[in-house]
């Protein structure tokens, strides 16, 4: 079978659906990885749970596995909040305040703040995501949260709600993020009160989604900012391009280089087992399976993405 390469569009919907079923069958019995124990709700996740969805830039969508099961965005929220903030206050402001270069460090390592000029990192790691949240417009916490929740809901095509149990746990145990925020505040890197920035970042991570939401949100980036279903512009093309670039360099943290070699598309992982991978101009993959590898990426999701990259011609670097 000749593998498709990075130019052109996704194959016909039927071909995508067959490839998705094949990917699910290929990796559903994978037993590697560990479920996150950061929060009790995550620790209780069924390690056998697995779902995949693909949404094309024309809105065609297909899903397999536990496609309606809900999980929390966790760090998968980061590229989308970056997009919303850049759309609102300007890409260059985000770039200047947050940074865009990979740290090569785990997602919550304070060393990244110490190394970066003025504490600048990138929007995909926790320090940079906290700075990004500090840039959200609004006069108070309620207005800023409305901006984020409404914006992420528009990208998903439906109203998203918070998992209150996860949120309560996260607010009670996010000492590391508060430490990062204090370090950033000491370097005048935050645009609002550090506690407000951490609260907003924590809430965005606790929004519930399923794999179909993830695929549709990713497809907005794949279209250059258009809603894949109704064609309305949600983001500017220069914003989505920058978000995809940062996802490519830092979306899988210290394993981002390995991901690009193995899969070849921008992606973002979260400790809930959620994963979104975007093929610009083609579409996006949403995946969810709780067991994680050492860098915090869904083991099944990563294997499925690597398989689909070859079968559907997603890999940006595959020239032939």
Q: Which domains, and CATH codes, for the chain? A: 13-71+208-228+237-311 (3.40.710.10), 75-205 (3.40.710.10)
Q: What is the mean pLDDT of residues 230-253?
A: 96
85 has a pLDDT exceeding 80: yes
How many alpha carbons lie under 13 Å from residue 176 in its C-beta half-sphere? 12
- Phi, psi (rounded to 5 degrees) for 54: -125, 130
Q: Give the lowest-confidence range in 74-78, 106-110, 253-257.
A: 106-110
| Residue (of 121, 132, 131, 104) closest to 239 by Cα position | 132
pLDDT at position 257, please? 95
* Per-residue DSSP letter, 75: G
Per DSSP, the three-state class of 302 is helix
Question: 256-273: string of b/e by CB count within 10 Å (b at 16+)?
Answer: beebbeebbbbbbbbbbb
Place of tokens 């949240």: 133
Residue 5: pLDDT above 80?
Answer: no
pLDDT band at 117 (very low <50, low <70, confident <90, very high): confident
In the predicted model, is pLDDT for residue 135 greater than 50?
yes
- Across all residues in the chain, what is the average pLDDT? 94
User: Residue 107 to residues 110, 138, 217, 219, 246: CA-CA distances in angstroms?
Assistant: 9, 27, 22, 25, 14
For the segment 89-113, the average pLDDT, to the nearest whole number, is 87
Confidence label for 7 from pLDDT (cuts 50, 70 and 90):
low
pLDDT attached to residue 118? 85
Report the first-to-last Cα separation within the chain, whole angstroms: 13
Residue 108 is predicted with a pLDDT of 67
pLDDT level of residue 2 (50, 70, 90 thresholds): very low
pTM of the model: 0.95
Distance CA 205, CA 104 (A): 22
* pLDDT attached to residue 206: 98
Q: What pLDDT does residue 310 have?
A: 94
Q: How confident is the model at residue 110 (pLDDT cuts 50, 70, 90)?
A: confident
Question: Who contacts 140 (Cβ-Cβ below 8 Å, separation ≥6)?
Answer: none
More confident residue, 60 or 116: 60
How much is the pLDDT for 320?
62
pLDDT digits (tens, 9 = 90+) for 177-233: 999 999 999 999 999 999 999 999 999 999 999 999 999 999 999 999 999 999 999
């Amino acid at each position: 079978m000749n593998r498709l390469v990075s130019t052109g569009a996704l194959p016909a919907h039927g071909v995508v659906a067959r490839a998705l079923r094949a990917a699910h069958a290929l990796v559903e019995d994978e037993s590697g990885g560990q479920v996150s124990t950061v929060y009790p709700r995550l620790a209780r996740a069924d390690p056998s749970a697995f779902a995949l969805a693909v949404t094309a830039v024309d809105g065609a969508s297909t899903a397999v596995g536990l496609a309606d099961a809900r999980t929390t965005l966790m760090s998968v929220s980061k590229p989308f909040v970056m997009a919303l903030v850049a759309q609102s206050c300007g890409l260059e402001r985000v770039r200047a305040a947050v940074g865009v270069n990979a740290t090569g460090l785990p997602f919550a390592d304070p060393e990244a703040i110490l190394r970066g000029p003025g504490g600048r990192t990138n929007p995909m790691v926790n320090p940079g995501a906290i700075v990004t949240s500090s840039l959200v417009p609004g006069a108070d916490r309620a207005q800023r949260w409305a901006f984020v929740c409404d914006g992420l809901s528009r990208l998903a095509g439906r109203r998203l709600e918070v998992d209150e149990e996860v949120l309560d746990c996260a607010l009670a145990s996010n000492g590391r993020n508060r430490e990062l925020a204090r370090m950033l505040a000491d370097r005048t890197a935050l645009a609002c009160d550090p506690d407000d920035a951490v609260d907003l970042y924590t809430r965005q991570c606790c929004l519930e989604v399923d794999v179909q939401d993830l695929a549709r949100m990713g497809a907005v980036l794949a279209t250059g900012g258009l809603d894949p279903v109704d064609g309305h512009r949600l983001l500017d093309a220069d914003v989505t391009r920058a978000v995809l670039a940062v996802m490519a360099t830092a979306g899988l943290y210290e394993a981002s280089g390995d991901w690009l070699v193995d899969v070849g598309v921008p992606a973002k992982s979260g400790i809930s087992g959620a994963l979104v991978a975007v093929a610009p101009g083609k579409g996006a993959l949403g995946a969810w399976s709780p067991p994680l590898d050492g860098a915090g990426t869904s083991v099944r999701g990563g294997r499925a993405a690597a398989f689909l990259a070859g079968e559907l011609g997603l890999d940006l670097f595959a020239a032939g």
